[in-house]
């Protein structure tokens, strides 16, 4: 590195003055050098000041102190040498794809002729793979396509540096993977300097030459940086077997865990759980128990030829077909597959929230036909009543399930589970004042506090950034280890599926989705994330799931993305 | 359903408070001054005062234009009064009120004295308990107007919220009621008035009713006109409850009453208050017209009487009443806005 860096940040600081006059320091001296043609990923978690940093580099925001040098010259406001892609696409909805890109071309290349500019627009639109959709309006595009337009618009300025501000975090996993490939291709073709802000370790490792970790708020600075020496091209499956990747991934995960050490969860509960059973879970008479015992342990939950048909304007559409699964009592199954494959449909049918077209689901010898507190659900959105406190939210369910328990006992149940999920200090906080991670903790507490026969988790951590997600996975593992409730979890995240489950059930793509493959996860419990990341078996399982997902990497979602 | 929701746009209950605090930061010159508690306090006062500079300039410009242009307009009652004459009439209205106050006090003092004298003279039959019956003064009329609108608005809310909730929760009932709402909504208070008058006159026949007839008529007209915004917004609020929250309700198997009180009402509350704020605004506008015609002794009657009176001060008095009407409407709206933001609290996720 004897050449001058194309971009260098020297002690960049920024603070905001709050309404109450308090000053919060967001960036506390960022130092970073980026050399020409390099791909740097800045890894940080929500609220760490990533967007502030990238806005400062883009020139949209003036730092309080420090300087940002572009080829040795201090920057002065936004310029066409730095193209920015926002997290929320920020396209003009009344313009076509081409017109959106043309806007940037016209602004950035006033010296070019009309024909030249039109050619440039065509080239950039084709570069992001949208040649067929150039005449469409943003409203007619999927999220992935919109983000492609945004990338094309940024590239149309022919910037020297491309700044990507969490461009993929609003997209689902499959689309995200496709766009990651796309970014890699653009990097290769255009050979530009790219700075990517992300909260996803795998994304950073897949794409970047160097990963710089931003320490958590407040007063963020660059913590450690990691050089990613994995040879390109990097395939997801091939990388999984790469020892260097495994090692680096563990290093970064450990480092992030250290940074996050302050907010550990699952402190020991001061409140013992009172010994009351929900009314409808109270043991049946002795004679009945003797008669029923044998069957119920091993075929506790049974899906039999489950089928779901949705009527559509173009005729009935079979989403799920011939779904058969037997689960033992106390088993944890994760359901994984591409988006739109009907995972959530299966889950909502098991919850009784969605009617069953044919076939059946039998839980503990009773057919599921209506929703109820014995089939607790953790939704993707936390779905708390924002006007109630954490305790009231959990109590709402506890009152329904334990109407026969004393008031003090019910209170103890609520407190017990809130402490289990690490909210001992925030029991009386309103849900509206909580962060998303805290809300989902309440959602988990609410579900467990119902003492359900069956726990259903519908992508419970899908909306959280990865650090919060890890925290909550640990919380879930911890609470589940104590209760051993039969559970099904729908997820997109391979690591999550393996970490939590006894079996990973992989679904084929819809329509007519069914079970493609079942993977038995034979890892000792209780499981620990760090230990798992060193276990060769874990990478073996990961490989199997990744391979399955790659095999089914097509279908309706592929066309749309 | 779409037409019913058209009102949502100006009824958006969310307020964007998330804008960065950059605008409210003290000006750079002050921020650079030597740090000390005094300079920051001073800075904040200055920053606060700056918010009022432009509104004050606007008001001053308006008064200036009024003062210049009003004398140019000639009417049968002389030229249009300028701000000074109007303010003068305000003062004279206040004087009339305090004069009425003293004469009322004198009346009661006299009555008491004569009663006491009668009792002392051993003649308890001569004790008289008359009420003072001078003409209503301007503040009395303002009070009557407020009472009328409060009754009308209260009735409208009591009726609109339950109907709105039912509409929001049932597509069929909504489909049944929606056309009626859309047709009744644009009807002017002047059209309702004769109907209401006839019905109320037929119903209230006692010579000394609990509530005066004109008062009831005005209040009912206010109710009929201010019903709709609350009804429509409540329906929107009840229909737009988060699907996941409803699913939570299903999983917990909440009964209908628990569902109503713990789920539907709280989540529809911001919409209901938005509707009520719009309703109160409509109600206050309608009230003046209703009072003019129903002869309810409120602000509307004051304006009408002054118009009929046609003295040289009448125009100035009417203008003063217009200003008072405006200020009261503004005050009511601000009060509802405060309630609305209270209801909005803890509702944003």
**B251, A371: Cβ pair inside 8 Å?**
yes
Lateral strand order in the sheet of A73-74: A23-34, A7-17, A65-70, A73-74
How far apart are alpha carbons B223 and B189 in whole angstroms? 10
| Cβ-contact B218, B291 below 8 angstroms | yes
CB of B346 within 8 Å of a chain A CB? The answer is yes
Closest approach of A371 to chain B, Cα-based (Å):
5
DSSP A180-202: HHHHHHHHHHH--EEEEEES-HH
How far apart are alpha carbons A87 and A170 in whole angstroms? 7
The alpha carbon of B348 is separated from its chain's Cα centroid by a whole number of angstroms, namely: 28
**B21, A383: Cβ pair inside 8 Å?**
no
SS3 letters across A422-458: CCCCCCCCEHHHCCHHHHHHHHHHHHHHCCCCEEEEE
**A375, B248: Cβ pair inside 8 Å?**
no
Question: Which residue of chain A is at minimal alpha-carbon distance from B25?
Answer: A17
CA distances from B3 to B178, B179, B226 (A): 9, 9, 18
pLDDT value at position A487? 94
Which DSSP state fits A477? H
**A432, B349: Cβ pair inside 8 Å?**
yes
pLDDT value at position A282? 52
H or E element that contains A138: none
Considering only residues 7 to 26 of chain B, which have any Cβ-Cβ distance to chain A shorter than 8 Å? Answer: 20-21, 24-25
Q: b vs e for B252-269, b when ≥16 Cβ sit within 10 Å of the residue's Cβ?
A: bbbeeeebbebbbbbbbb
| Residues of chain A contacting B40 with CB distance shorter than 8 Å | 21
How far apart are alpha carbons B128 and B130 in whole angstroms? 6
CB of B348 within 8 Å of a chain A CB? The answer is yes
| Cβ-contact A104, A157 below 8 angstroms | yes
| Residues of chain A contacting B261 with CB distance shorter than 8 Å | none
Q: State the count of interchain CB pairs (< 8 A) between A and B.
A: 73
Closest approach of A261 to chain B, Cα-based (Å):
27
pLDDT value at position B64? 94
Question: Which residue of chain B is at minimal alpha-carbon distance from A402?
Answer: B252
pLDDT value at position A400? 86
pLDDT band, very low/low/confident/very high, at B8 (cuts 50, 70, 90)? very low
How far apart are alpha carbons A319 and B71 in whole angstroms? 78
For β-strands A332-336 and A375-378, DSSP reports them as unpaired
pLDDT value at position A324? 92
Closest approach of B341 to chain A, Cα-based (Å):
13
How far apart are alpha carbons B83 and A15 in whole angstroms? 49
Residue with tokens 């004469």: B103
Residue of higher predicted confidence among A217 and B58: B58
pLDDT value at position A424? 82
Give pLDDT < 50 ranges for chain A. 1-2, 263-268, 284, 288-289, 291-292, 294, 555-561
| Residues of chain B contacting A385 with CB distance shorter than 8 Å | 245, 262-263, 266-267
How far apart are alpha carbons A541 and A521 in whole angstroms? 7
**B244, A18: Cβ pair inside 8 Å?**
no
pLDDT value at position A270? 59
| Residues of chain B contacting A432 with CB distance shorter than 8 Å | 345-349
In this complex, which of B20, B266, B267 lies closest to A16 when CB atoms are compared? Answer: B20
Residue with tokens 């597509």: B171
pLDDT value at position B20? 39
| Cβ-contact A223, A525 below 8 angstroms | no
How far apart are alpha carbons A499 and B248 in whole angstroms? 27
For β-strands A366-367 and A358-363, DSSP reports them as antiparallel
How far apart are alpha carbons A123 and A104 in whole angstroms? 13
In this complex, which of A353, A375, A432 lies closest to B347 when CB atoms are compared? Answer: A432
**B346, A432: Cβ pair inside 8 Å?**
yes
The alpha carbon of A12 is separated from its chain's Cα centroid by a whole number of angstroms, namely: 30
Residue of higher predicted confidence among B212 and A240: B212
Closest approach of A19 to chain B, Cα-based (Å):
6
The alpha carbon of A167 is separated from its chain's Cα centroid by a whole number of angstroms, namely: 13
The alpha carbon of A413 is separated from its chain's Cα centroid by a whole number of angstroms, namely: 30
How far apart are alpha carbons B316 and B306 in whole angstroms? 10
> What is the distance between the terminal CA atoms of chain A, rounded to a whole angstrom?
38
Taking only Cα atoms into account, the Rg of chain A, rounded to an integer number of angstroms, comes to: 26
In this complex, which of B24, B247, B252 lies closest to A353 when CB atoms are compared? Answer: B247
Q: Mean of the per-residue pLDDT values for chain B?
A: 83
pLDDT over threshold 50, residue B26: no
What is the phi/psi pair of residue A452, to 5°? -75, 160
SS3 letters across chain B: CCCHHHHHHHHCCCCCCCCCHHHHCCCHHHHHCCCCHHHHHHHHHHHHHHHHHHHHHHHHHHHHHHHHHHHHCEECCEECCCHHHHHHHHHHHHHHHHHHHHHHHHHHHHHHHHHHHHHHCCCHHHCCCCCCCCCCCHHHHHHHHHHHHHHHHHHHHHHHHHHHHHHHHCHHHHHHHHHHHHHHCCCCHHHHHHHHHHHHHHHCCCCCCCCCHHHHHHHHHHHHHHHHHHHHHHHHHHHCCCHHHHHHHHHCCCCHHHHHHHHHHHHHHHHHHHHHHHHHHHHHHHHHHHHHHHCCCCHHHHHHHHHHHCCCCHHHHHHHHHHHHHHHHHHHHHHHHHHHHHHHCCCCC
Mutate to test the interface with B, among A47, A387, A429 (most CBs of B within 10 A): A387
Residues 6+ apart with CB under 8 A from B305: none
H or E element that contains A518: strand A515-520
pLDDT over threshold 70, residue B25: no
CA distances from A500 to A190, A248, A258, A266 (A): 41, 23, 22, 16
Mutate to test the interface with B, among A378, A379, A389 (most CBs of B within 10 A): A379
Percent pLDDT > 90 in chain B is 36
Instruction: Return the bridge partners of A316, or none.
Output: A311
**A396, B25: Cβ pair inside 8 Å?**
no
Q: b vs e for B299-317, b when ≥16 Cβ sit within 10 Å of the residue's Cβ?
A: bbbbbbbbeeeeeebbbbb
| Residues of chain A contacting B253 with CB distance shorter than 8 Å | 371-373, 400
pLDDT value at position A264? 46
Closest approach of B128 to chain A, Cα-based (Å):
58
Q: Is A298 exposed, middle or buried (0-12, 13-18, 19+ CB in 10 A)?
A: exposed
Mutate to test the interface with B, among A372, A396, A454 (most CBs of B within 10 A): A396
**B347, A387: Cβ pair inside 8 Å?**
yes
pLDDT value at position A560? 38
Taking only Cα atoms into account, the Rg of chain B, rounded to an integer number of angstroms, comes to: 27
Instruction: Return the bridge partners of A195, or none.
Output: A40, A163
pLDDT value at position A366? 86
Q: Mean pLDDT throughout B6-10?
A: 40
Percent pLDDT > 70 in chain B is 88
- Helix pair angle (A114-127, A97-108), 10° resolution: 130
| Cβ-contact A346, A500 below 8 angstroms | no
pLDDT over threshold 90, residue B165: yes
CA distances from A230 to A13, A34, A288, A394 (A): 33, 19, 61, 47
CA distances from B131 to A289, B22, B107 (A): 84, 61, 9
In this complex, which of B21, B269, B346 lies closest to A17 when CB atoms are compared? Answer: B21
Question: Which residue of chain B is at minimal alpha-carbon distance from A436?
Answer: B349
pLDDT over threshold 50, residue B146: yes
pLDDT over threshold 90, residue B232: yes
In this complex, which of A376, A385, A430 lies closest to B263 when CB atoms are compared? Answer: A385
pLDDT band, very low/low/confident/very high, at B17 (cuts 50, 70, 90)? very low
User: Which is it for the CA torsion B242, B244, B250, B255, positive or negative?
Assistant: negative
pLDDT value at position A561? 38
**B250, A381: Cβ pair inside 8 Å?**
no
For β-strands B78-79 and A358-363, DSSP reports them as unpaired
């Amino acid at each position: 590195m004897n050449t001058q860096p194309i971009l260098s940040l020297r002690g960049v600081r920024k603070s905001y003055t709050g309404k109450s006059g308090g000053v919060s320091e967001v960036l506390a001296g960022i130092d970073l050098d980026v050399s020409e043609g390099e791909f740097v990923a800045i890894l940080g978690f929500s609220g760490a000041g990533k967007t502030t940093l990238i806005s400062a580099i883009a020139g949209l925001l003036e730092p309080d102190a420090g300087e940002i040098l572009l080829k040795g010259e201090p920057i002065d406001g936004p310029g066409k040498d730095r193209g920015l892609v926002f997290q929320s696409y920020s396209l003009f909805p009344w313009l076509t794809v081409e017109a959106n890109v043309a806007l940037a071309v016209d602004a950035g290349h006033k010296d070019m002729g009309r024909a030249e500019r039109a050619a440039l627009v065509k080239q950039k639109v084709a570069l992001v793979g949208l040649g067929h959709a150039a005449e469409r309006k943003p409203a007619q595009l999927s999220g992935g396509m919109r983000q492609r337009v945004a990338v094309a618009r940024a590239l149309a300025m022919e910037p020297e540096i491309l700044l990507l501000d969490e461009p993929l975090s609003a997209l689902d996993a499959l689309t995200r993977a496709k766009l990651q490939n796309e970014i890699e291709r653009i990097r290769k073709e255009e050979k530009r300097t790219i700075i990517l802000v992300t909260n996803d370790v795998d994304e950073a490792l897949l794409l970047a030459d160097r990963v710089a970790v931003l320490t958590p708020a407040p007063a963020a600075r660059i913590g450690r940086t990691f050089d990613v020496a994995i040879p390109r091209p990097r395939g997801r499956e091939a990388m999984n077997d790469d020892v260097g990747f495994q090692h680096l991934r563990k290093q970064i995960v450990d480092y992030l865990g250290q940074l996050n050490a302050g907010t550990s969860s699952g402190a020991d509960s001061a409140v013992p759980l009172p010994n009351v059973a929900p009314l409808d879970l109270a043991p049946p008479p002795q004679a009945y128990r003797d008669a029923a015992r044998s069957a119920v342990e091993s075929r506790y939950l049974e899906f039999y030829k489950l089928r779901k048909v949705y009527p559509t304007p173009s005729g009935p559409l079979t989403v799920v077909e011939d779904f058969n699964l037997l689960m033992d009592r106390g088993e944890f199954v994760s359901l994984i597959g591409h988006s739109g494959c009907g995972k959530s449909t299966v889950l909502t049918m098991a919850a009784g929230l969605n009617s069953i077209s044919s076939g059946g689901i039998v839980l503990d010898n009773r057919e599921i036909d209506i929703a109820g507190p014995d089939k607790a659900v953790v939704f993707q959105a936390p779905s708390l009543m924002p006007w109630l406190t954490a305790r009231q939210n959990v109590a709402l369910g506890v009152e329904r399930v334990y109407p026969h328990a004393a008031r003090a006992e019910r209170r103890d149940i609520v407190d017990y589970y809130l402490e289990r999920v690490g909210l001992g200090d925030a029991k009386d906080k309103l849900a509206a004042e909580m962060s998303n991670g805290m809300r989902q903790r309440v959602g988990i507490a609410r579900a467990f506090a119902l003492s359900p026969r069956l726990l259903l988790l519908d992508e419970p951590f899908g909306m959280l950034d990865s650090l919060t997600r890890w925290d909550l996975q640990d919380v879930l593992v911890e609470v589940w280890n104590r209760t051993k409730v039969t559970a099904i979890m729908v997820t997109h995240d391979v690591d999550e599926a393996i970490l939590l489950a006894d079996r990973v059930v992989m679904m084929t793509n819809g329509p007519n989705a069914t079970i493609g493959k079942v993977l038995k996860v034979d890892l000792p419990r209780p499981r620990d994330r760090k230990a798992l990341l060193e276990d060769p078996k874990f990478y073996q399982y990961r490989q199997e799931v990744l391979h399955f997902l790659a095999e089914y990497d097509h279908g309706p979602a592929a066309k749309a993305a | 359903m779409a037409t019913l929701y058209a009102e949502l746009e100006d009824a958006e209950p969310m307020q964007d408070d998330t804008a960065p605090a950059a605008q409210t930061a003290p000006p750079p010159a002050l921020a650079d001054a030597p740090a000390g508690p005094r300079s920051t306090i001073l800075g904040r006062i200055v920053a606060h005062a700056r918010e009022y500079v432009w509104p004050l300039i606007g008001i001053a410009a308006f008064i200036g234009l009024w003062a210049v242009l009003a004398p140019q307009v000639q009417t049968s009652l002389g030229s249009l009064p300028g701000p000074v004459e109007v303010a003068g009439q305000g003062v004279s209205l206040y004087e009339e009120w305090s004069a009425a106050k003293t004469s009322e006090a004198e009346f009661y003092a006299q009555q008491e004295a004569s009663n006491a004298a009668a009792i002392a003279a051993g003649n308890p039959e001569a004790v008289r308990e008359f009420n003072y019956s001078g003409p209503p003064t301007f503040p009395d009329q303002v009070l009557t107007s407020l009472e009328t609108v409060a009754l009308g608005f209260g009735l409208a809310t009591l009726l609109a919220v339950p109907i709105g909730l039912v509409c929001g929760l049932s597509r069929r009932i909504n489909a049944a009621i929606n056309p009626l709402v859309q047709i009744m909504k644009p009807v002017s208070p002047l059209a309702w008035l004769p109907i209401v008058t006839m019905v109320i006159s037929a119903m209230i026949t006692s010579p000394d009713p609990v509530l005066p007839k004109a008062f009831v008529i005005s209040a009912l007209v206010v109710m009929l006109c201010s019903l709709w915004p609350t009804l429509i917004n409540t329906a929107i609020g009840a229909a737009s409850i988060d699907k996941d929250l409803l699913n939570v309700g299903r999983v917990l198997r909440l009964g209908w009453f628990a569902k109503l009180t713990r789920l539907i009402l709280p989540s529809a509350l911001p919409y209901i208050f938005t509707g009520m704020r719009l309703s109160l605004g409509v109600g206050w506008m309608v009230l003046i017209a209703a009072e003019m015609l129903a002869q309810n002794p409120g602000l509307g009657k004051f304006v009408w009487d002054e118009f009929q009176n046609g003295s040289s001060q009448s125009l100035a008095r009417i203008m003063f009443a217009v200003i008072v009407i405006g200020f009261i409407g503004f005050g009511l709206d601000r009060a509802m806005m405060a309630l609305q933001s209270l209801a909005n609290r803890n509702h944003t996720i």
